[in-house]
A and B are shown apart, each in its own frame.
Chain A
């Protein structure tokens, strides 16, 4: 049946090959591929200083918290399927987990709604104790395999007494993760809201304490003006500082992350988050996933078919 003339025409062979290709696509439609996934718990600082506006999104000034929410929403879209994301909030001296990690693909809408709902008014107390917050979070999650993202601007309020430092040795390296520094390095005012959530200007110098008044000072008593061991352990002089303004305290956060066995990342662009996770080999969890490769077969068959008319 196959005459010699037809066998000489390349079109015959191309057609045969194209048909064979498409038939193979039904026999081998998928391939097992190892693919990195990420198991993440993001703990977001929702204290007042996170309302400070020093980020830009679409040429609009947005607060640190808004930027964190935007970043997490973006991350949600970028993470490969089978990755999981859990969410928690931090204020005062500890954090709470809103939910355990959920699959980013099947649970996308729920996760996105929960991220959008993050609000400073969820805070159950107003203090911002970054170091003890990080410590208690690590202790709460120490037995878990997930990567922790602790997202904070590092603004301790009221200021801490350097004499009493949190000791991280008991939780160091138990958990892996990043301390993510949020905010700009230039001090900016912190918006002040009333009970109804309306903005009433900014925190002023008189609104906030500018130094710790807890325990004993770490300075030599002879150097403190008006020192009295019982009545004025910090001296009599009034301290005026810049605690009413807030800037990202990078050196403090990198030091904390070092003590906790974490990495530090200054969040400047939403994309840096995933890039940082991808760059390391301790965060990705490689999972074998079934990849659809029918498109490769189809492209081959398409090229062969197109060639028939050239």
Chain B
């Protein structure tokens, strides 16, 4: 793989023009009675050849410049701090309520707005991470692939302020979020950060599938559970054992499911924007382990150098021209 490329490669056909100085001399012919009579002049021969060479170099430099020559983007392996993070965001209707479970009234912000604000700050601080975003309600939504482009990630987070969708179907959302890691090499920490305010029962079919996916993708899972006031919470055990089912207490069962995956897992129950901020801060601290990552060295434009060369050559040609000696 060569590192050199061109913006407009077809311009390179212009390199044929470099043959022109080979065909013609570029020196004004002087009439002479009988050229054979001229003694051999090695110095003149040398200058004639030099002129042609410089001429060819000038044309080549100009054509290369015109073709937009550049050095391709390079990747250099570095060791730093960061991770591949996939944010899985809950877009179900209840996210548009406040932590108190009411419609936002101007004093208290909704859970989705609090999440948007805090995640945006989080992304700002994670300069070396690659971040991707998936969302889910009744069905999973692919939002943004894993990328270093922080502006794109911020645009996706800011779109969270548009109204939320239908219900919570967490298993499909999880499957989609895990699929993000599928095409990526394992270079460092992989983090799945689930932000949701509720849970749903995972059906046995997808449960098996998810266990397999979690195992394969080697992720660390964080769940920021935005707990509303009337929610029972992750660790509550019901008084009546008959209520202890996945459908009645989805949060408790999802927590149990995650704990049983044998992967690093941490759940945070946030009952206010402040608690959520604390949770995000903690995750930021935890995920600062060394990571092999590739730093991108952006592509470098070489046209400027070409034009500088061409200019120098032209100056040289002009100088030689001034030394030209004419007879008669």
User: Footprint of B on A, CB under 8 Å?
Assistant: 1-3, 5-6, 9, 11-12, 15-16, 18-19, 22-23, 25-26, 86, 88-89, 92, 94, 96-103, 106-107, 109-111, 113-114, 117-119, 121-125, 140, 294-295, 298-299, 301-302, 305-306, 308-310
Contacts and interface: CB of A to CB of B under 8 A. Distances in A.
B314 A15 contact: yes
Contacts of A295: 65-66
Nearest to A95: B162
A99 B144 contact: yes
A26 to B, nearest CB: 7
Contacts of A301: 62, 310, 314
B37 to A, nearest CB: 22
B166 interface: yes
A305 B311 CA distance: 11
Contacts of A117: 142, 145
A63 B319 CA distance: 67
B318 A15 contact: yes
B47 to A, nearest CB: 14
Interface in B45-91: 55, 58-59, 62-63, 65-66, 91
B170 to A, nearest CB: 14
Interface SS of B by simple majority:
helix
Contacts of A125: 138, 166
18 contacts: A6-B322, A6-B324, A15-B318, A16-B318, A98-B142, A98-B156, A99-B143, A99-B152, A99-B155, A101-B155, A111-B152, A114-B142, A114-B144, A121-B140, A298-B307, A301-B62, A301-B310, A302-B62
A103 B155 CA distance: 10
Given A124-B137, A294-B65, A113 B318 contact: no
B145 A306 contact: no
Contacts of A23: 311
A214 B65 CA distance: 69
Contact of A309 (B20, B139, B308): B20
A89 B141 contact: yes
A100 B155 contact: yes
Interface residues of B, number: 53
Contact of A99 (B59, B159, B303, B308): B159
A26 B65 CA distance: 13
B307 A25 contact: yes
The 4 closest A-B pairs by CB, nearest first: A117-B142, A99-B156, A124-B138, A22-B311
Contacts of B322: 1-2, 6
Contact of A298 (B17, B62, B91, B156): B62
Contacts of B159: 86, 88, 97-100
Given A5-B324, A12-B318, 5 more contacts: A9-B28, A15-B317, A26-B311, A99-B143, A309-B20
B26 A308 contact: yes
Contact of B142 (A86, A101, A119): A119
Contacts of A2: 322
A98 B147 CA distance: 16
B321 interface: yes
